[in-house]
Structure 1
Amino acid sequence: MPTSWGSLVSFPLSCGFQLIVACSRLLLLFGTRPHCCFSIGEVDLVPTMEEYAELLQLDRAFSETPVIPIRGPRSNRCLEKYLGLTTAVLRPEIARPEETWRKANISLDLLTKYFSRSAFPAKLARDFIVGKKGWKKFRINAFKIAFAGIFLFPTSAGRIDLGVIPIVFSEGRSIIPAILCETVRSLSHCRRQGEGVPMFCTQLLQLWFCSHLRHFYRLQTPYHFERHTVSQTVDIALPFTGNSRDWASYLLDLPLGEWSWKVTWGPAVWKPWTHCALFDGVPLPGVWGCTGYYPSLALRQFGGVQYPPRLGDLDAVTFDYIPSEDMWRLLSRVEVIWEGRLSEVVLIEDGSPGDSSVASDFVEWREGWTPFFTLRPTVRPGTSHSLVSRSLRVSASTGQPERVTVLERELEEAQTELLSLRLARAV
């Protein structure tokens, strides 16, 4: 429990605003919106719920169901229960209180005022419903709300979206799907727009990403990445700081041997979820919306044989939380889908050669990415397409009759080119 909460208000900025911008630009270059994974050359990595749970050191992340919104007012009327403050104090502090599903929020200053000191603020006793009684419990609750709103689900500096409250206080339910959901949604939004700073826990995604680089885990533990050991192993800018173009080029030049499909800090045997019985992926209900992704793209990350992934239509589970009968119907379907989660991993026997981790039909599938799936950056500025291996290029379909497909592909390429130009200008 911090003695002063002043640092929390600028936590993302204290890690370096340029770091977050550079990290987001770098990951956006490699992010693939249709498949929700990162493709760097021939390496495909998918942030998974299991890996996120290990990084956060959560013991029972997947024996529970995710937090799924319920009908009724969201969380702005629950502050009295969790903070013990009177309505007279809370009501003026809630921005957009009528927006029960559209980002009602409070400032971190409110929590700092009442809960940052180690002792009960006797001068403010009138502002509490029952005075000092239960203040220590309320202080812990306040820290949970602040941590979730500033670190895990940030919206703007110093503001805490009250949508995090049901996530934080839903006993017996996992927060990992919500974290991963908002990561995917934010990256997808920024990629569509061609710019912007993703609003999610960038540091957690960066930690996950670095854990798949061999030179990181050779010299350090998974939960402690010291900067000086990183600088000793890479003779350019540190990860996601400084020049992100240099890091993009560096990552593209890394041979496959420098990547670790399976991180060494995980359990000996992973039991990941690969899909659901009624859905080819896994739906992820978040704080402000829902989306889905394909963990079957990550079989190698769990020491399994990589087969062509199960790919369906994510549109069925991709929507914003805007109260309506359609939203509640979709959420009910998501809950039913989630209950049918399955695991389909064929583990590799010890002593098997490394190339046995990839099935032959996966190699064929990987060489024939559909036009919707564009590997970025497949070509660096100034590089001829003819110099890029076929495995790093999208197979252009000459017989595609649908005009929509052609337009979507052209739009994707134009957005990526725009992002590259903006990146070059920023550097």
Structure 2
Amino acid sequence: MSEQRITARIKQKGECKCILWRNLRDLILAHPDMKKRVDVFALSIYGLILFPRALGHVDEAVTNLFDRLSKGVTPVPAILAESFRSLNACIRSREGRFVGCAQLLLVWFHSHFWKMDKISYRVFSDNYSPLKEIATTPKRDDVSEENWVALLQNLQEEDIEWRAPWLVPSEILFRCGSFDWVPLLRIWGAICYAPLLVLRQYGSRQFIPATHGLEQCEFSYKGDNY
């Protein structure tokens, strides 16, 4: 797609500039180069599922991230930061909804809330992958939204397996230099995260890490030349 054609199709949605999904869909169906068709399809998944910003649109910030993947840049910190920020925003405002990759959140639910499947333990191997397991599990259509609400509202501490059993403890990164917390750079800003929280996943010593000054380090990118 030429730069002129893209510019003509860019729409302003709130604070972000987006391109309509149907424009990308037309490109996927009609482009003569199969590799580019697959690339645009993958970009659409990033924009619509992993980093949703406006319904039915793909944010141009996502295209910048996607362009860097071929250079070996990992999207994992951005996905973690967006999920962390969205959940934080819901908790602080006591309203709103989770904006992020709901599929990854569902994988976490199935991995840690053992009462969902009425199984008190699972056997994990060294090559176990929760993503592969959820991908091969037949999708259930009989679980209503009301059932999900009831399940989450009635969770007790003993219903949750905080430690991820497939993680094999080795060296654990819990500090960046002399800092107990670090900013995770997102595609729309940054949010602070305490790596010490990772110790909970490994079933190590439980304590609340120092969080003084966390909020002061959060920011959103503003302006075209930020």
Shorter-chain TM-score bucket reads 0.7 to 0.9
- Separation of aligned partners in 2, 1:161 and 1:288: 10
- Separation of aligned partners in 2, 1:219 and 1:109: 43
Structure 1 counterpart of 2:18: 105
Larger CA Rg, structure 1 vs 2: 1
Structure 2 counterpart of 1:241: 145
Structure 1 counterpart of 2:94: 194
Give 1:193-212 correspondences, 5 Å limit. 193-212=93-112
Residues 1:93 and 2:6 are matched in the alignment:
no
Q: Is the 8 A contact 2:180 2:195 kept in 1?
A: no
Q: 1:270, CA displacement in angstroms?
A: 4.4
Pair 323,114 (structure 1): closer, same or farther in 2 beyond 3 Å: closer
Q: 1:243, CA displacement in angstroms?
A: 3.9
Structure 2 counterpart of 1:222: 130
The equivalent position to 1:141 in structure 2, one of 32, 35, 39, is 39
Structure 2 counterpart of 1:166: 64
Q: Is the 8 A contact 2:81 2:184 kept in 1?
A: yes
Pair 146,192 (structure 1): closer, same or farther in 2 beyond 3 Å: same
TM-score relative to the length of structure 1:
0.44
Q: Is the 8 A contact 2:164 2:201 kept in 1?
A: yes
- Separation of aligned partners in 2, 1:323 and 1:270: 42
Q: Is the 8 A contact 2:82 2:100 kept in 1?
A: yes
- Separation of aligned partners in 2, 1:92 and 1:280: 46
Larger RCO: 1 or 2 (CA < 8 Å, sep 6+): 1
- Separation of aligned partners in 2, 1:109 and 1:216: 45
Structure 2 counterpart of 1:285: 185
Give 3-state SS (helix, strand or coil) of 1:106's partner: strand
Residues 1:295 and 2:195 are matched in the alignment:
yes
Give 3-state SS (helix, strand or coil) of 1:160's partner: strand
Pair 162,324 (structure 1): closer, same or farther in 2 beyond 3 Å: closer
CA distances 1:157-191 after superposition (whole Å, capped 9, x unpaired): 21000111222222222211111111122222233
Structure 1 counterpart of 2:211: 311
Structure 2 counterpart of 1:415: none
Name the aligned partner's letter for residue 34 of structure 2: K
Pair 183,249 (structure 1): closer, same or farther in 2 beyond 3 Å: closer
Q: Is the 8 A contact 1:178 1:285 kept in 2?
A: yes
Structure 2 counterpart of 1:116: 29
Give 3-state SS (helix, strand or coil) of 1:173's partner: coil
Name the aligned partner's letter for residue 199 of structure 2: L
Q: Which runs of 5+ in 1 are unaligned?
A: 1-84, 121-134, 231-236, 329-427
Give 3-state SS (helix, strand or coil) of 2:146's partner: coil
Pair 249,87 (structure 1): closer, same or farther in 2 beyond 3 Å: closer
Structure 2 counterpart of 1:260: 161
Q: Segments of 4+ in structure 1 off by > 4 A?
A: none
Q: Which runs of 5+ in 2 are unaligned?
A: none
- Separation of aligned partners in 2, 1:324 and 1:150: 22
TM-score relative to the length of structure 2:
0.78
